[in-house]
């Protein structure tokens, strides 16, 4: 190995005592490849096996905690105890390769396609449609339904524990239900779940509390709880960077094992709420970095880019699209072959890369998503 890259391979010990073998995380990415009943497919398991040998931790694609939250065709489920064998199969496959296995749990809220949820009943904090789910106006959740969904996140966590995962990640990013409650754009409520920024924090923090309660009750060994969030929204009104700093402060108080910042560009700067003198990640690190580990992500492809990102003071680096393009990304750096890392793919690469058909079709048919040559 080129000694320049040794920092990427330093083990990292979390506050709960769990140790990651290096600083590289496979980012959570939807793969559209589960069976219709929500169980994982052979193709999906093989895809994860191919990518779990080098990274220290794998965060799975998002897993719906209740049928009303299914956001994608081919998404796997964590909404009933019948799913535990399926969940266990994936956890076992990932851990066998030497990585920690983290189950990402979520509810799609107003972003779900009506055809995927019971009775086409799309729900959210308020009856505000999303530009990304055209023609669908969600129904506002009742107080008792909100409480039920909070319990659903807890029960999905229990299933993850029973299935052998090393932890869960609460998906509070990318415009899904948890973010919808925090956002002033999608949350126009005037009850205890809305209003000012503290009111809009109520739902995310209630989920964290319930998940942590379940972990304390059911986990017999250290079990990670992480939280992923998007720091800003383009909508007006939308989440601004100063509101996100309030969010991360509150999350850091909950003694989470990590915070995972969802960004397309690691070095992107704030739009609103604070000045653009430094990156969003730098603002977050400055506010809570001494209290909770931060995972940074966003268009990191090469070993040099990863090293620069790590040295910017985040503790862990998540790799997303690049780990699809180059499943041996970590191993190549470890073997001193970082110059051989591929950063593009071609139409004939599917079998070599062990990518399931639905994901491959999405890659090929979404211009600009992946660098296809």
Q: Annotated catalytic sites, by residue?
A: 176
Inter-CA distances, 358 with 186, 367, 369, Å: 30, 16, 15
- Which tokens belong to 113? 């396609």
Phi, psi values for residue 102, rounded to 5°? -120, 125
Q: What is the 3-state secondary structure (H, E, C) of the chain?
A: CCHHHHHHHCCEECCCCCEECCCEEECCCCCCCCCCCCCCCHHHHHHHHHHCCCCCEEEEEEEECCHHHCCCCCCCECCCHHHHHHHHHHHHHHHHCCCEEEEEEECCHHHCCHHHCHHHCCEECCCCCCCCCCCCCCEECCHHHHHHHHHHHHHHHHHHHHCCCCEEEEEECCCCHHHHHHCCCCCCCCCCCCCCHHHHCHHHHHHHHHHHHHHHHHCCCCCEEEEEECCCCCCCCCCCHHHHHHHHHHHHHCCCCEEEECCCCCCCCCCCCCCCCCCHHHHHHHHHCCCCCEEEECCCCCHHHHHHHHCCCCCEEEECHHHHHCCCHHHHHHCCCHHHCCCCECCCCHHHHCCCHHHHHHHHCCCCCCCEC
Residue 243: which of 191, 204, 298, 296 has the closest Cα?
204
- Which tokens belong to 66? 């209740």
Can you tell me the distance from the alpha carbon of 268 to that of 152, in angstroms, rounded to the nearest whole number? 34
């Amino acid at each position: 190995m080129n000694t320049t890259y040794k920092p990427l391979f330093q083990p990292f010990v979390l506050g709960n005592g769990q140790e990651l073998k290096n600083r590289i995380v496979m980012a959570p990415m939807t793969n559209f490849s589960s069976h219709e009943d929500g169980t994982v497919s052979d193709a999906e398991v093989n895809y994860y096996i191919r990518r779990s040998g080098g990274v220290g931790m794998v965060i799975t694609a998002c897993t719906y905690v209740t049928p009303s939250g299914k956001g994608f065709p081919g998404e796997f489920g964590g909404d009933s105890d019948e799913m535990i064998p399926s969940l266990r199969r994936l956890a076992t496959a990932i851990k066998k390769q030497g990585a920690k296995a983290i189950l990402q749990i979520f509810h799609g809220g107003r972003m779900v396609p009506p055809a995927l949820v019971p009775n086409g009943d799309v729900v959210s904090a308020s009856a505000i449609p999303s530009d990304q789910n055209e023609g669908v106006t969600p129904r506002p959740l009742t107080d008792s339904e909100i409480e039920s969904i909070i319990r659903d996140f807890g029960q999905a966590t229990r299933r993850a524990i029973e299935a052998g995962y090393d932890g869960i990640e609460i998906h509070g990013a990318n415009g899904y239900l948890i973010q919808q409650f925090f956002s002033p754009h999608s949350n126009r409520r005037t009850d205890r779940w809305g209003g000012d920024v503290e009111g809009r924090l109520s739902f995310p923090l209630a989920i964290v509390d319930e998940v942590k309660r379940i972990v304390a009750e059911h986990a017999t060994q250290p079990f990670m709880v992480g939280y992923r969030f998007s720091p800003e929204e383009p909508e007006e009104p939308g989440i601004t960077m100063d509101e996100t700093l309030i969010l991360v402060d509150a999350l850091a108080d909950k003694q989470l094992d990590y915070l995972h910042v969802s960004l397309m560009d690691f070095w992107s700067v704030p739009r609103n709420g604070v000045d653009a003198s430094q990156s969003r990640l730098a603002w977050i690190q400055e506010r809570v970095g001494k209290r909770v580990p931060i995972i940074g992500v966003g268009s990191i492809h090469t070993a040099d880019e990863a090293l620069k990102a790590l040295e910017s003071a985040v503790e862990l680096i998540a790799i997303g699209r690049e780990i699809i393009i180059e499943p041996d990304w970590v191993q190549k750096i470890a073997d001193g072959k970082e110059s051989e890392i591929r950063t593009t793919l071609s139409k004939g690469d599917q079998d070599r890369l062990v990518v399931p058909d639905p994901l491959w079709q999405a890659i090929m048919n979404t211009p600009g998503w992946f660098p296809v040559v």
